[in-house]
Amino acid sequence: MSNRFSRLAATLALPGLLILAQPAAAEINSHTLKFAAQNQKGHPQVQGMEKFAELVKEKSGGKITIKLFPGGTLGGDVQTLSALQGGTVEMSVMNAGLMSGVSKDFSLVDLPFMFQTPQQADAVMDGPFGTKLAESLPAKGVIGLGYWELGFRNLTNNRHPVAKADDIAGLKIRVLQSPVFIDLFTALGANPVPMPYPELYTALETGTVDGQENPYSNVVSAKMFEVQKYLTVTNHIYNPQIVIMSKKAWDKLNEDERKVIQDAAAEARDFQRKVSRSQSDEALAELKKAGMQVTELPAEEIAKLREKAKPVIEKHSAAANADMVKMLNDELTKAGSGKI
């Protein structure tokens, strides 16, 4: 009898033991997070946001909702960054170089002619250099969640074709609200006009500025081809974008909820980069079809642009942390891009 009782007791105890052996269920609470950005629906940036929102919903069992605000509806990048630090907006994605306003070493990301391919940028931004940059952000009220891409920037204007480096001289060019961009276009002989992205189309339409510089996908999604005639392939700066979250919002999440956000950001990164790169050639073809006159600068003219840009690279490299500059150069060398 005692043996039968022991076997019965063990059988009755088994379900409880199995429950104890299983990992605890993730603790996910209900949250709604505002995610703001500058580009319009259909742009690869916004497609990445949509994918991220979908993944967060799936991974959180529908408990975390990402509410999207594309098209600059919550303000320009600088305003949005301030809102993240204040906790009134929870998330954004923007050109990584814009973070130089809160952490000066981010200005290194915008240095001209640093990358030749997107894959080189991926290697650098996903590696020790990009990680170290992100580590400087929490002290400034922001959490870095990884790097997406905007792509290579090219020049458009409505005054004349730019067929050589000297043709840029005298053009009023809208630039990002970033010291590197202002210094670069000053060095190229243009008159740079820093301006929030949501104001750009009207400025082009009214002639407040002659031109601007952005990846092809931006020119298409913002319909700049309606108010710009000439496009010059310069590939002067490659823009990684950084997905960021308000530290105030981050601190309200538990570890399980943070993992949902981090995992979704990583998956959305791979999706967003793929979409961005597949759409780049399509966007250029669309701009040609829309009637834009496209000029590809010959190698000797690109070399002249690089030469004009050298003082800008030297200035901003000297202002950054020397260890970060060394790390960047090491990572660029490993990626096959060469040093800045």
Strands 293-296 and 230-233, by their bridges, are parallel
Whether pLDDT at 10 is above 80:
no
Query: In this structure, is the dihedral angle defined by the CA atoms of residues 262, 65, 137 and 200, taken in order, positive or negative?
Result: positive
Mean pLDDT of the chain: 92
Residue 29 has pLDDT above 90, yes or no: yes
The average pLDDT across 20-45 equals 84
- Residues 6+ away with beta carbon under 8 Å from 19: none
Per-residue pLDDT band at 26 (split at 50, 70, 90): confident
Q: Determine which helix (DSSP H) or strand (DSSP E) holds 92, and give its type and residue range.
A: strand 91-95
- Tokens matching residue 143: 């959490």
Task: Determine the longest span between alpha carbons in the chain, in angstroms.
Answer: 101
- The amino acid at 171: L
User: What is the pairing mode between strands 238-246 and 91-95?
Assistant: antiparallel
**Per-residue confidence at 228, pLDDT binned at 50, 70, 90?**
very high
Give per-residue burial for 123-157: e unless 16+ CB within 10 Å, then b. Answer: bbbbeebbeebbebbeeebbbbbbbbbbbbbbbbb
- Residue 234's closest CA among 164, 183, 339? 164
**In this predicted structure, what is the pLDDT of residue 27?**
94
Structure confidence at residue 25 as a pLDDT band (50, 70, 90) = low
Structure tokens belonging to residue 235: 């590939």
The whole-number pLDDT of residue 338 equals: 84
247 C-beta neighbours (distance < 10 Å), count = 18
Sign, CA dihedral 149-319-85-200, equals negative
Per DSSP, what are the bridge partners of residue 149? 240
pLDDT at 130 over 80: yes
> For residues 340 and 333, what is the distance between their CA atoms, to the nearest angstrom?
10
At residue 244, what are phi and psi to the nearest 5 degrees?
A: -130, 155
Q: What does R_g of the chain's alpha carbons equal in angstroms?
A: 24
Domains, the chain: 30-335 (3.40.190.170)
What is the model's pLDDT at position 339?
A: 87
d(CA 243, CA 16): 43
Using alpha carbons, list the distances in angstroms from residue 29 to 60, 162, 253, 257, 285: 8, 55, 9, 8, 46
Q: How many of the other CB atoms lie within 10 Å of CB of 73?
A: 11
Residue 295: count of CB within 10 angstroms of its CB: 18
pLDDT at 55 over 80: yes
User: What integer is the mean pLDDT of 114-130?
Assistant: 96
What is the model's pLDDT at position 113? 96
SS3 321: coil
The whole-number pLDDT of residue 24 equals: 53
CB 184 within 8 A of CB 112: yes
Note the pLDDT tens digit of each residue in 70-80.
999 999 999 99
**DSSP bridge pairs for 231:** 156, 294
Placement of tokens 């339409």 in the chain: 205
